[in-house]
Amino acid sequence: MSQSSRDTLRDIAELLRALRSSIQTLEGQQLAETKQLSGHQTVDTRQSLMLSFHQLETAIGDMEQTLTTLAEATQDDGLPGRTVDP
């Protein structure tokens, strides 16, 4: 893999880390502003928000994994500093 490609992969990985951080910040803000509904037949806004943010986190994790796979497939040692949330 060329240095240019490695640099681009690292840039993308950093953007994903920044995106994850921003989404976590937004999630905290949204959940703090949302009141839980009562009743058995109401749509729970808080639960819906939590699910939506979980889906965003999963999508970011999938992109990180794909970048790692790409780096490995092109004989690179992976992306330095990459962290995966369990």
Residue 41 has pLDDT above 60, yes or no: no
Local confidence band at 47 (pLDDT 50, 70, 90 cut-offs): confident
How many helices (H) and strands (E) are present in the chain, helices listed first? 2, 0
9 CB-near residues (< 8 Å, 6+ apart): 1, 67, 70, 71, 76, 79
Q: What is the DSSP letter of 41?
A: S
Query: Residue 85 has what pLDDT?
Result: 44
pTM score:
0.73
d(C-alpha 66, C-alpha 17), whole Å: 14
